[in-house]
Structure 1
């Protein structure tokens, strides 16, 4: 039998174009904690994978479950999943299929997806991958506030094109038990008050938030990539969330 830790393992999953490297500064701040912390590069976002453009949401969800096995995650010792931005797709699938293995989910400037939703359902089938767009275009879609020239340079250098299948695939969810998983929203480019109002109004981006049974909200004002702009504060928010009861 594995030894039960007093604090749960933490799995960090970044959004589109990003791998485990995106969490380096946050991991540094969490290093003194006793919880095992794993930053995951999802399938399709490993530049050395020759078949990465064919990877799917199913592949990504399976990779998260593989990390559960490696960390000996169980109902008695569930994990904390930290999901940033585009990680919401595979994490929503994992919450639907294995809610008993998740102590708490922390959505970083993101939130749970609704069944049938896709990031880019209308992306043409012949588009194999979507590279990181120019920053003037990206900045119209998500806030770049707080990012230094060095942050942007590393983002551009390290980013891996997002696989087309991941963007086109809709998530199919069937298990309402996912809504009982304790949840923390870390709200950065949109305030917590705005997110909750959008949830109440049924806005497609946050409608699922209204269904959550246990919800905490942490405001961390900055841009959409707080793992770079406010790494220490984000680590504190994750640490606080992980220590809360499920």
Structure 2
């Protein structure tokens, strides 16, 4: 079935997230309490709520998106081309509005799909939640209310690799390694994004990391289709 998909109809993406504030003390007293309650199970007795706050970017209620990188095939023939671009901004609302414009202007047809690694559990719901928190209406590709499972326009490379084994998890780094795909994790990893954003104030470094992950997701799809991987000369950043 995967071979029947038109690659030009797929928007590959990855997001990078950080805690909403640099430090726990910047939260209101009520939000500090809610954070404590939300993370009680994960923290157990090992961490205080303040110590655990560096992980707040994982939850859309306590984090924010600092980059959405997207990639798409503009040609899948002999002159194959894969284009990558990123939405990044200190103001989350603005990058979300720009991302929504892309979906509604270029990837709004029934045949269009969104694709990410662990996208169904993380990227897609995270983007949808942050869009609503910022007071923006949901684009159709993220509005799943009333849709049957086969009507959801999302592809997930983790789900494809599970082959129905719902308890199984494989990281993007592991999957690219075993499939012989150049690793996107050659600089930072997800756990370091918050520090790079708040301490180093190096958003460009985060964007580069996010774009590499987006390319890796496309490479996985190609590998699962038993097609040749993208060459550096076939990838354009715009």
Q: Which of the five TM-score ranges fits, normalised by the shorter chain?
A: under 0.3
Greater C-alpha radius of gyration: 2
Normalised by the length of structure 2, the TM-score is 0.28
Normalised by the length of structure 1, the TM-score is 0.27
Higher helix fraction (1 or 2): 2
